[in-house]
Every structure is written in structure tokens, then in C-alpha cells.
Amino acid sequence: MEITSKSYLSLLRVVRDLAGYSYSRSDLVRRAMGKKKRDVMEEERQYFIYGKLDKEGNIEIPGCIRNGVPEEIANKIYDDMIDFANYAFNKSHAAAYAILGYQTAYLKTYYPVEFMAALLTSVMGNTPKVVQYIQDCKRMGIEVLPPDINKSYSTFTVEGEKIRFGLAAVKNVGVNMIQTMVQARDEKGKFISFSDFCQKVDAKDLNKRAVESLIKCGAFDSLKIYRAQLMGVYENLLDSINQDKKRKIQGQLGLFDMTGDATISFKKDPLPNIKEFQDKIRLNMEKDVLGLYISGHPLAELQQELKYFTSINSSNINEIMENPQETEHKDGEKIIVGGMILEKITKTTRNNKLMAFITLEDLLGTMECIVFPNVLNQHANLLQEGNLVIIEGTLSLKDEESPKILTNTIRPLAKLETQKLYLKIREKSDMVLVHEAKNILRKYHGSVPLYVYIENENKVFRADRDLWVKLNDDLIKELSQIFGEESVKIK
């Protein structure tokens, strides 16, 4: 009790008093445990228990046994120290974090919108974090609104019970332009058209790349203008208005002064009569300039399927990388992921065979999948950029590396109602096989319909809902053992 009377297991005193460590050597153990260095901790275990001699044979560390502590008890004490060290902090560190933890928990509970807006602003340069926190907002019932030239500021801001996306997070949009734009809005009133925006904002802070990014992310959508229309004319409009501004400075009569009422001239833009971009193009534009989809997601319609077919998502995998000591997931764990193939890079192995590195995106972020030659040969047709897939594989967790998925099998990701499981039997009397398989089918109960095809009658029957299944490789293998591989099909 003397050692641990003031705190829960003082590591420094334990190794000094029981094993005879010096002050400097005991601090080495503390640092190793603080940094979770397993190899150093296991090496020190030997010295802690058995001691250490220097090169001349003199005792450098006596060790527990020499000091009368039995080997079994010494091992148990060291095990307890390692368990403690997995989540141990100095008192001053723990106290500061306790206060900070309480304050943030209070703010998140009683001021959730303000808290999340500040949190998003703090990670504006980290796109994966922004994506993660926006998903957290959705789970909390907080809507994140897209950028808007009449409502957005540089940072993420609170707008009622919602959060407005910050313009500083838009690619190519600089702080100077944002400040000038906000100042013009405050002094001259809201922008009523694209031309009005160009006229009110100082020309020296307007550049075409920034304006294009604002169009792509939907910042002008509130003006009831299609992004496709603006993309077609914004450069000409910018040039025309900037030339008018120069003429005014030079005392010449400008194009928009001809009417005698400049305000009227900017109420309506001269826009082409064309349709808006398709959703896929529009969303890809958002991704290009924001790093994420804001008004929707290409996988949104498959959210139920992703939840249904997968065992882990990109957010879970990112958490493993951030908190490796706290994760429940293990190296070599069998997992199932799904999403859209963003990028495929092929490389040649030493055996002159092709393998691939896949960047897979789901609703929460991205993850890296490695496809070895044998799997690549089997599924090359599915591994194309833009394809929607389900990947079954093994989780690879290595020190100093981001988590990766070693791919075993790949199949298309499709809507649940489009997939069906077929069992083929030769004749009606073979229905006994279906009865034998009932326990297997119920073990994998889900929402994919089961159909039985009777070959000699050329008839198909749909099974009752209690025999519908959740598709996975284990189910197919078990059914194949009863019906044969050729008689079990997914369509």
C-alpha cells in the first residue's frame, strides 16, 4: 500500500523499489509504457524480473528475484503494469483532459449546432475529418447546408438549427475574395443575380477559377440559376462586366449605363436555355471543389444495401488508424466492405503478374483495397473506376501503415430488390431438399427473395418470406453442398 497509496500504481516507484531500478532507468520504463512500445516493455520485463549485469559482470539492475520477490508474483505485477499503461496518464495530464472532456461534453449536449459548427471549422483543411463530422451531424439530426453566396461566411456558421458550409473550405476560393464578397454583401445588399454579384464584388479579388469553384459547389443555386447555364457563360459575363468597370473608371459610358438605371440591368442574367447537369455530373463537381458531396451522394440510393451487405465502413477503418490501441478490430479479421471504385492503379509483381490497388469510397469516406493477381484475374471486369462493388477480404493492420483490405472476392453492388436467389431441383419430389435446407436459409434470414426452379416442369415458385435470405459466401457454400454448385444461382 505504501507505493500505491497516493495514486493507482506509481510505475516509477514499483520498478525502483521492487527491482532496484535507478531513477533514469525507471523513467525509460515509464516512457516505453507511455508510448505503448511493446518490444521495449517486453525487454524490460526480463530486467525487472531477473535483473541485468553490465559488461564487467557487475549488477546494473538487481531485479525482483534478487530482491526476494518470487518470479510468479513479479510477472503478475509486470502484467498489471502493462494493463494499466494501456490507458494511463500523468495526474496533471488526466486532470486537464478531464476538464476539457467535461466542457466539450457539456457544449455538445446543450449547444450541439454551435459545437459541431466550431468542430467543422477546426478541421477545414482535413477533408476526411470534415466528411466524418458531417456524417455525425446527420446522425445528430443537424443539417449541413451547401455554400451560398448570400449566406455563407469564411467558416462554418450556425443558421437557426442548421449549419452553413464555410467558403474557406471551397477549393480555389481565397480568404481575400471571401472578405471582399461578404463586405460587398453587407454594404450593398444581397446579390440578386450572377451579374449583380460580379458588379458588386471588387474586380481585383474576382478570379475565374474561384468563381468556377463557387458555381460547381452550388453557391449560386439560391439565385434559381442552373449550374450548367452559369458554366456556359460565366467567363464572358465576367470579362464584360470587368471591362465596364474599367470604362467607368476612365470616365467612359459603359454598356450597363445605357439604360440609365444600372440596378435594373443586373436583376436578370443573359443565360442560355439549357437543362441542368445530370445528378452524377453535378455531384462530381461538388466532390471536385469541396472534397465531398454536399447536395447528395451517388451511393445515397444504395444506403440500405451498403448497411445490409457490409460488416464495416470507411469511418470504422479511419478510427482504427486514429486509435489503434482502442480498436476492437484485429489484424487478419474477415470483413465485408462496399462502395464505388474511385481509382484503380495496377502494378507488375516480381513474377511479372498484374495486381491492383483500389480506392473504394462509401458514404463516409474512402478505404484502400489490395487485389492480388489471382483475384484480379477472376474479377477484372468488375474492377473499373466508377463501378459499384461489394468486396470481401481480410483486414491488414501494420504498424506505421494505414489499414488495408486484402481482397478475396468481389461482386456487384445492386439494389436488394434486383437480386434473387435461385435453387434448381430436377422434379417436384426433390422439394425435400428445400425442406432440408430450411434451417440454413433461416440462419441467413434477410430480404433477398428465394425462388425454386423445377426443371422437368419448367416452373418457378417464390418461397415464403421467412425463407428469404441475406446473401454471403457462407450461405452459397452451404446450399451448394445440398443442391450442387450449378443449382445455386444469384440473378
Q: Is residue 332 included in any domain, yes or no?
A: yes
Residues 129 and 213 in one domain: yes
Ranking 43-47, 323-327, 447-451 by mean pLDDT, the lowest is: 323-327
Q: Is residue 49 included in any domain, yes or no?
A: yes
Q: Which of 371, 395, 412 is the last residue of a domain?
A: 412
Region label for 392, one of left (φ > 0), alpha (ψ between -120 and 50) or beta (otherwise): beta
Q: Which helix H or strand E contains 85, and what residues bound it?
A: helix 71-85
Q: Exposed, middle or buried by CB within 10 Å (0-12, 13-18, 19+), for 130?
A: buried
Between CA 103 and CA 231 the distance in angstroms is 46
Mean pLDDT of 478-490: 89
Q: Is residue 330 included in any domain, yes or no?
A: yes
Identify whether the C-beta of residue 309 lies closer than 8 Å to the C-beta of residue 392: no
- DSSP structural state of residue 57: S
Residues 242 and 353 in one domain: no
pLDDT tens column, 167-206: 999 999 999 999 999 999 999 999 999 999 988 998 787 8
First to last CA, the chain: 69
pLDDT given at position 8: 40
C-alpha dist (Å) from residue 218 to 33, 146, 209:
50, 7, 14
pLDDT given at position 250: 66
Residues 179 and 267 in one domain: yes
Residues 265 and 131 in one domain: yes
Between CA 37 and CA 55 the distance in angstroms is 26
If one counts the domains in the chain, the total is: 4
Query: Residue 3: pLDDT above 80?
Result: no
Between CA 424 and CA 434 the distance in angstroms is 10
| pLDDT bracket for residue 41 (50, 70, 90) | confident
Residue 403 neighbours by CB under 8 Å, 6+ apart = 317, 320, 321, 367, 368, 395, 396, 397
Residues 130 and 255 in one domain: yes
Q: Is residue 289 included in any domain, yes or no?
A: no
Query: Residue 260: pLDDT above 50?
Result: no
Q: Is residue 17 included in any domain, yes or no?
A: yes
Residues 408 and 428 in one domain: no
Sort strands 157-159 and 354-362 into parallel, antiparallel or unpaired. Answer: unpaired
Q: Which of 412, 427, 442 is the last residue of a domain?
A: 412
Residues 389 and 424 in one domain: no
Residues 387 and 439 in one domain: no
Q: Is residue 166 included in any domain, yes or no?
A: yes
Residues 338 and 433 in one domain: no
Between CA 405 and CA 391 the distance in angstroms is 9
- Written as nine digits, the cell of 406 is 486484402
Region label for 193, one of left (φ > 0), alpha (ψ between -120 and 50) or beta (otherwise): beta
Residues 407 and 327 in one domain: yes
Give the SS3 label for residue 166.
coil
Q: Which of 412, 433, 460 is the last residue of a domain?
A: 412
Residues 209 and 252 in one domain: yes
| pLDDT bracket for residue 321 (50, 70, 90) | confident
Residues 151 and 24 in one domain: no
pLDDT given at position 267: 60
Between CA 271 and CA 260 the distance in angstroms is 22
Between CA 259 and CA 389 the distance in angstroms is 58
Q: Which domain holds residue 168?
A: 109-280
- Written as nine digits, the cell of 373 is 493477381
